[in-house]
Amino acid sequence: MNAPAHASLDDKERVFDRIIPDKFRPIIDRNACLNCKRCVKECSFGALEWKDDRVVYKGGCVACQRCSAMCPARCIEIATVPSGLPPHASYTERVRQGINAQASSGGVLLCSCGTDMPYGMIFDDLILDAAQVTNPSIDPLREQVETRTYVGRRSSRVMLSGDGYVTESDGSGPVVAMDMPIMFGHISLGAVSYNCQRSLFQAAKDLNILAGSGEGGLHADFLQFADHINGEVASGRFGVTPEYLRRTAAVEIKVGQGAKPGHGGHLPGEKVSDLISQTRMIPLGTDALSPYPHHDIYSIEDLQQLIAALKESVEYRVPVGVKIAAVHNVAAIASGVVRAGADFITIDGFRGGTGSTPRVIRDHAGLPIEVATAVVDKRLNEEGLRNRVTVCAGGSIRSAADMIKVIALGADVAMVCTSALIAMGCQVCQSCHRGLCAWGIATQRPELTSRLDPEIGARRVTRLFHAWNEELKEVMGAMGIDAVESLVGNRDRLRYFGPNQKIAEVMGVKHVGEGWG
């Protein structure tokens, strides 16, 4: 393809590029430096070079912290470079950089990870409850507090027959039992490395929870984890084989994703290595495009057909879900999705992460997961559907507190991605889309991928979620609740302590200081 004329820069114009200053810069303590060149090797972004018998900084540091973490003399510090730009409250540094980058490239700005815009986190405006006296708290170290969670479609009624039970014929489906109300969202092989995905799958197995396969099928090596994998069916249908559908523990149709609502997937050809080409079943080096819409879904009825077809393909043995991005009308959409037969529904909030997305979408489209979860839960309740379906919610679950709050707002399961990557080493440098991840997470380069030991990765993620689950038990115990099902949608256990009472009203959460009733 010819580069568009406006994208080519002559040397005279390149000077403009230089007015985009670096935001970070490694500072090397020359007295301590051993001149071992380790940092030069570690910097996958090419920001350091060996010149005149010492390490010099070339520019382009993303603050991935790899060099400083690996420096044997611990002599590198990553400093934030103060902006030299004249201050302006509206034309912030970020805005000016964006303008310059587009004036140079003429293209859509790409970015990774969740939005870094300073929208307030509603989670931080919610306060949890605790039991006192008449409703005694429970000590999880001495008493059982249960966190087992089922994913799937529920019958709203059990009927007893002489020889056991039957469930209402139209509503029951297979369910997957997880030991805690957490699952990994879809992080595809391609967006992340083989070792990263292996770590996630191993952790899911060790924790007995589900991990999303991400788009693009399943590498043959990972079939061993199939019992803990929620297989994604995206519009590109890459890697969706009968075996994939037969083996995974759940199947999920991806309609939308929080970081890029209204967007499909795009894995650039450069990232389509041998490994990816085999897994996705596409030629080496070609772009893997999952277009924005599924070209066979233009209505709820179409979605219903795909759900039915998938259920047929899995012989009704595993639950079939649908993932949607949190958008303004999410409650009505969720209702339609449930009516179309989804056994579980995943809502992805607009702060969700991703390996690559247009920055304008990431930063400006969608709905916070806190609000989306609450309105979906409310709507499904009003329509008498909530007790049939499992609701999963994600998009910026940063801690056990966020997980607890999203459950109290109405989710059965918290879906987590970025936090798991951080546990493996991700520094949230927001450069995943460049494929150069210095920690071996968001890259396909073998020399980088090998930096992540899947055993260690799995162990760290396992410990993280185990700890969150313990914290969940502590909080539930403090609330006087001994099983997580009694926390789901229990907004009585939350109070709003933020600046915008309207948000609290929409979420159905009382203000701090308000009692029961």
Partner 1 sequence: MRSQEQGRGGGRNDLPSLPSYGAARPPGLEYIMGGCGIAGTIDVSGGKMSGEVISRMLTTMRERENGLGSGYSAYGLFPEDLKDLYCLQFFFDDENAMCCVEEYLKDRGDIVKDERVPTRKVPSMRPPYPIVWRYFFQPDPLSSSYLIKGQGPDECVVDVVMGINNGIPNAMCVSSGKDMAVFKGNGYSYEVAEFYELGRYSAQMWLSHSRFPTNTPGWWAGAHPISLLDWSVCHNGEITSYGVNKKLVEMHGYKCSLLTDTEVVTYLWDLLVRRHNLPPQVAAFALAPRYHDEIERMDPKSRALAEQLRITYKEAFLNGPFSILVGRGQPDITMIAMADRKKLRPLLFGRSADNKRLFAASEECAVRIVEEDAETWVGDPGSPMIASVGKGLIRNGTEAPFKGVL
- Considering only residues 369-398, where is the footprint of partner 1 by CB under 8 A? 381, 384, 386-387
Radius of gyration, CA atoms only, the chain = 24
Q: In angstroms, what is the minimal distance from the CB of 253 to ligand SF4?
A: 26
Round to whole Å and give the CA distance between 203 and 462.
Answer: 5
Parallel, antiparallel or unpaired: strands 320-325 and 344-348: parallel
Q: Which is nearer to partner 1, 327 or 385 (CB)?
A: 385
Ramachandran area for residue 170 (φ above 0: left; ψ -120 to 50: alpha; else beta)? alpha
Q: In angstroms, what is the minimal distance from the CB of 41 to ligand SF4?
A: 10
Binding mask 129-158 toward partner 1 (x if CB under 8 A, else -) reads --x-xxxx-x----xx-x-x-x---xxxxx
Task: Give yes or no for residue 513 binding partner 1 (CB under 8 A).
Answer: no
Contacts of residue 460, Cβ cutoff 8 Å, sequence gap at least 6: 199, 423, 424
Q: Which is nearer to partner 1, 22 or 227 (CB)?
A: 227
Round to whole Å and give the CA distance between 375 and 381.
Answer: 10
Task: Give yes or no for residue 67 binding partner 1 (CB under 8 A).
Answer: no
Picked from partner 1, ligand SF4, none, the partner binding residue 146 (CB below 5 to 8 A depending on kind) is: partner 1
Number of residues that bind ligand SF4 (CB under 6 A): 29
Please give the biggest Cα pair distance in the chain: 87
Picked from ligand SF4, partner 1, none, the partner binding residue 64 (CB below 5 to 8 A depending on kind) is: ligand SF4
Contact region for ligand SF4 (CB under 6 A) — 3-11, 27-35, 115-123, 431-439?
Answer: 431-439
- Considering only residues 74-93, where is the footprint of ligand SF4 by CB under 6 A? 78
Contact, 417 vs 399, CB < 8 A?
no
Number of Cα atoms under 13 Å in the Cβ half of residue 212: 30
Q: Which is nearer to partner 1, 121 or 478 (CB)?
A: 478
Return the DSSP state at 374: H
Q: In angstroms, what is the minimal distance from the CB of 323 to partner 1?
A: 22
Contact, 6 vs 106, CB < 8 A?
yes
Contacts of residue 462, Cβ cutoff 8 Å, sequence gap at least 6: 202, 203, 206, 207
Contacts of residue 91, Cβ cutoff 8 Å, sequence gap at least 6: none
| Alpha helices by DSSP H, 43-106 | 66-70, 93-105
Task: Give yes or no for residue 490 binding partner 1 (CB under 8 A).
Answer: yes
Task: Give yes or no for residue 71 binding ligand SF4 (CB under 6 A).
Answer: no
Q: Which is nearer to partner 1, 22 or 492 (CB)?
A: 492
* Six token digits for residue 347: 């809502």
Task: Give yes or no for residue 167 binding partner 1 (CB under 8 A).
Answer: yes
Write the DSSP assignment of 161-173 as a string of letters. ETTEEEE-TTT--
Picked from partner 1, ligand SF4, none, the partner binding residue 429 (CB below 5 to 8 A depending on kind) is: ligand SF4
Q: In angstroms, what is the minimal distance from the CB of 69 to ligand SF4?
A: 9
- Considering only residues 396-415, where is the footprint of partner 1 by CB under 8 A? none
Binding site for ligand SF4 (CB under 6 A): 26, 42-43, 45, 47-48, 61-67, 78, 112-113, 421, 426-432, 437-439, 441-442
Binding site for partner 1 (CB under 8 A): 131, 133-136, 138, 143-144, 146, 148, 150, 154-160, 164-165, 167, 175, 381, 384, 386-387, 479-483, 485-493, 515-517
